[in-house]
Amino acid sequence: MNTLKYKGYIGSVNYSEPDKVFFGKLEGIDGLVNYEGESVAELTAAFHEAVEDYLAFCDDHGVKPEKSYTGTFNVRISPATHRDIAILATEAGISINAFVKKALDQAVKNSAEEAEIRPIPKRYPVHSEMQMTTLHEPKVAYGNKEILEVTIPSKEVKLAKDLFNKLGWNYELCG
């Protein structure tokens, strides 16, 4: 989803072809605040104005300018992933809920750190071929991200995935 950011608020970005207009709404609040513009510049200005107006409204009416959350939500995952989480949680001596909470907390922390500085590559394809383990020089650079190819024996794919997950690296299985 395309978004705009201003003063810690996020706004969605959409386009209506019949109306020839960009539009969006302020996300993460309890109210409904929307904006529109005929160009990206107009949409951005309208978004900034919407945030300012929303903050002024909240100040005038003594409303907290943020969305309230219950701390509870449902996530649908595959039975295999559910089983893997249950096993990992048991091995860690914690509940599934505590395991998922810890994983989500870490993902949010990593994401927040990544948003500020992105010092290390984050996407690593893993080839599950029967070859000796090799690490190739980066073949593709995208911005400040590097994409590396790692070739490992098929029997070591799980070990590599576990290692990459512990390091917080994203990966793709190829081949």
Per-residue pLDDT of the chain (175 residues), as tens digits, is: 689 999 989 999 999 999 999 999 999 888 899 999 999 999 999 999 999 999 999 999 988 887 777 788 888 989 999 999 989 989 889 999 999 989 988 888 888 776 654 444 444 444 443 333 344 444 444 445 566 666 777 777 777 787 777 777 777 776 5
pLDDT digits (tens, 9 = 90+) for 31-76: 899 999 999 999 999 999 999 999 999 999 988 887 777 788 888 9
**Domain map (residue ranges) of the chain:** 3-61, 71-117, 119-175
Cβ atoms < 10 Å from Cβ of 4: 21
Q: Which residues contact 4 (CB under 8 A, 6 or more apart)?
A: 10, 11, 13, 24, 43, 44, 47
CATH for 3-61? 3.30.160
Protein fold of 71-117 = Arc Repressor Mutant (1.10.1220)
